[in-house]
Amino acid sequence: MPYALTDEEQQARRRAVVEVMQATPFLAGLGAVVDRYEPDDIRVRLPFRADLTNDGAAYHGGVIASMIDTAGALAAWSNHDFDKGTRAATVSMTVQYLSAARHSDLVCDARTVRRGNELIFTEITATDADGKVVAHGVQTYRIA
């Protein structure tokens, strides 16, 4: 039987996920900040940047989708059993846009709904800094 990670090793790897993800070129370029990283409960914030908007005021939908995808992925990793593997990808994601985030930080709260053997199901809500819902996402993430 292969060596199983201790609880301390599992926790250390889960904590390292934030640093690794924030260092990826795309996310580093966005400037996303992880405000909360608890097991199955994540908050990621994107400080307002006019260069990521359609018109200098409202975030582009692709930026919102990227943040929703990132928050869902972090939720999936936040309580992952690393003995099951580390190869990961978003399998499916649906985004419903409800409003615009104008001249505001974008805040994404994500939670894990269910964990299977390889598939993790997450729900993500994106709001502006005042808590007005901007978009809602449902994601299926795979780690194997």
User: In the predicted model, what is the mean pLDDT of the chain?
Assistant: 96
Q: What is the pLDDT of residues 56-72, one digit of tens each?
A: 999 999 999 999 999 99
What does the pLDDT read at residue 60? 97
CB count, 10 Å around CB of 123?
Answer: 17
Structure tokens at 144: 């194997």
Q: What is the pLDDT of residues 12-26, one digit of tens each?
A: 999 999 999 989 999
Measured between alpha carbons, how far is 47 from 143 in angstroms, rounded to an integer? 29
The secondary structure of residue 79, as a DSSP letter, is T
Global pTM value: 0.95
CATH fold of 7-143 reads Thiol Ester Dehydrase; Chain A (3.10.129)
What does the pLDDT read at residue 3? 81
Contact assessment for residue 134 and residue 99, using Cβ atoms and an 8 Å cutoff? yes
Measured between alpha carbons, how far is 79 from 13 in angstroms, rounded to an integer? 10
